[in-house]
Amino acid sequence: MTLQTRILLLLTSVWFIAAAALGTRIAFIWDQQRKIPHQILATVAFEQETGNISLALSQGKGFGNLFRQNTGPTAWIPPVYPFLLSLIFRVFGAFTISSFFAAVLLNALFSAGVTFPLFHLARQVAGRTVAVATAWLWVALPAGIMMPFEWIWDTSLSVLLATTLVWMTLRISESAKRSLWLIYALLWAIALLTNPSLGIALPFLLFWAAVRARDVGQLSWRIPVRTLLLVVLCCFPWTIRNYTAFHRIIPVRSSLPFELWIGNNDIFDPHAVNGIQRITRFEETRHYAQLGENAYLAEKWARATTFIREKPALFLHLTGRRIFATWIGTEHTFADFLHANSLLVRIVILCNAILTFGTAAGALLLARSKSPFAFPLAVFPVLFPFVYYVTHPSLRYRHPIDPILIFLTVFAVAVTVLPKKYRAALTISHSP
């Protein structure tokens, strides 16, 4: 074996690519931590809902104290990531630099781990060359590099779970193995208890996989039905906990009314009389502590739905702006690109624009190729951001679908640019 062949094998190895992904993320962490005082990293990074709940858990006070006040139980966010972070607090101490590094390293491992399901997904759909290109682009994606450091939140774990679920959907669609469907159910349960927004795609992906597996592998309908029941059963204890604490049904999390109100209130209406002038964290924290979670969220729901009902045109306008911001990263693309004070910001905006157009082209070309996998790969990125269209957008909110957007973009480029012989291989409908 020649040296050139060995280098090629190394560069196309999923393990080497995953190691490179971890390396880029650790390098970013190392660079950033040198620029920020460690006492800030040890405290400010955890001064949000996840950090506060994790602190309460590590102190044995239960899943509560949302704003680090003694306000009791909460269902504001799902439980998986706060429990993981609470374990870090127990081992390395709460709000310490050691806990910060442990948390961002865990996030980096989640992010680098995306390489494996993404590579296998791309290879199954479009072959090894596209898989290698897709995985390497994930290594270099600015959002993937930045998020593990920027957000001590479930973001990086959600990316891993989302990509794995799409890959597993493709796998079970060609299998009648009960063990695979069992793993699929458990993955969905973990995903819902980590980021419930992922659940919007569950019925569509499960139904598609069941129909295809029935056609391809003579799957009994009992298996997907049991899969769905197992997902519900795994989430049920948390729902029971929430009902016990709040005396109302909260399947996973309770904060939707607040998120809806944040994006739909009189701040956005310049003609509002006696409207909201500003929203401050201090005032909302005080108000939450006074009313309690149930009453606070009921009030936010009433205000948000009243705003939407009384100002439907403004709501539609805001929704359009949120859709644009979700996919491009900013509402004012050209102005923000030109006036950005950082090359990194410009790169992020440019990457978002490329991925958006590449995703649309890739989904269209995949459908035209009559690939059996076109539906799940298109429906997941289309459906996932819906909740953010009506609440409020953020790059980190969209991040769980970024690996799928990369694959669709690479597929579009491969079909368009590569020689006809290879293009024909890409457009073959893969069947077991």
What's the CA gap between 204 and 201, in Å, rounded? 5
> Of 269, 277, 254, which Cα lies nearest the Cα of 307?
269
227-240 pLDDT, tens digit each: 999 999 999 999 99
Among 13-22, 170-179, 316-325, name the one with the lowest average pLDDT. 170-179
Q: Flag whether 431 is in a domain.
A: no
Average of per-residue pLDDT across 275-303 = 89
Q: Flag whether 432 is in a domain.
A: no
Percentage of the chain beyond pLDDT 90 is 76
Q: Flag whether 363 is in a domain.
A: yes
Q: Flag whether 70 is in a domain.
A: yes
Residue 34: predicted pLDDT? 93
With contact defined as beta carbons under 8 Å apart, do 185 and 232 qualify?
Answer: no
Q: Flag whether 342 is in a domain.
A: yes
3-state secondary structure of 73: strand
pLDDT band at 428 (very low <50, low <70, confident <90, very high): very low
pLDDT band at 317 (very low <50, low <70, confident <90, very high): very high
Q: Flag whether 192 is in a domain.
A: yes
* Total domains present in the chain: 1
3-40 pLDDT, tens digit each: 788 888 888 999 999 999 999 999 999 999 999 999 99
Domain membership of residue 275 as a residue range = 3-426
DSSP state of 77: S
Q: Nearest-5° angle of CA 424, CA 163, CA 320?
A: 90
Q: Flag whether 264 is in a domain.
A: yes
C-alpha 187, offset from chain centre? 14
With contact defined as beta carbons under 8 Å apart, do 273 and 106 qualify?
Answer: no
Q: Which residues of 356-369 are buried (b: 16+ CB within 10 A; e: fewer)?
A: bebbbbbbebbeeb
Residue with tokens 């291989």, as numbered in its chain: 425
Average of per-residue pLDDT across 373-401 = 93
C-alpha distances in angstroms, 151 versus 41, 108, 171, 299?
11, 11, 31, 29
pTM score, two decimals?
0.93
In angstroms, what is the C-alpha Rg of the chain? Answer: 23
Q: Flag whether 204 is in a domain.
A: yes
